[in-house]
Amino acid sequence: MTDVVSSEKRSQMMSGIRSKDTRPEMIVRRALHARGFRYRLHVKDLPGKPDLVFPRYRSVVMIHGCFWHGHNCHLFKVPGTRTEFWLAKIGRNRERDAEVRQALAGLGWRVLEVWECELRGARKAGYQPVVERIAAWLSLAN
């Protein structure tokens, strides 16, 4: 199957995809901050530069995009073009995620992953239940 847009346009579209400050990340950040949780962002000293770092709770929250991290949900679909490239790329991302989780755990950090599909898409839970789950998980650390 050929792409419906030119390679230049596809390149422009793909370069516009952010790795930080994504919409799901911003929703969670604002809601947790409003509930009184304080965190650091993308701490370079920790493996994987976690999205949200809660030093007080020795916990990190990783907010993953379903496509880029290969989540088994309705938002993930392997592209029809360059399939081998995308499967390899997403496979590497999954491996890296596992390595980062293991490295963080080895350093004594607790890790919680939040998926994009929990916050948007046809089967979303909505941000409120997700924030409640994160808050309850953080409270277990105290």
- Tens of pLDDT along 115-127? 988 888 666 767 8
DSSP state of 115: E
Domains along the chain with CATH numbers:
19-139 (3.40.960.10)
Q: Is 114 strand, coil or helix?
A: strand
Nearest one of 37, 40, 56, 29 to 110, comparing CA atoms: 56
Residue 59 to residues 39, 40, 47, 90, 118: CA-CA distances in angstroms? 10, 11, 13, 25, 20
The Cα–Cα gap between 16 and 52 comes to: 22
The Cα–Cα gap between 140 and 110 comes to: 11
pLDDT at position 6 is 74
Reported as a pLDDT band with limits 50, 70 and 90, residue 141 is confident
pTM for the whole thing?
A: 0.83
Instruction: Report yes or no: 92 and 71 within 8 Å, Cβ to Cβ.
Output: no
pLDDT tens-place string over residues 42-67: 999 999 999 999 999 999 999 998 98
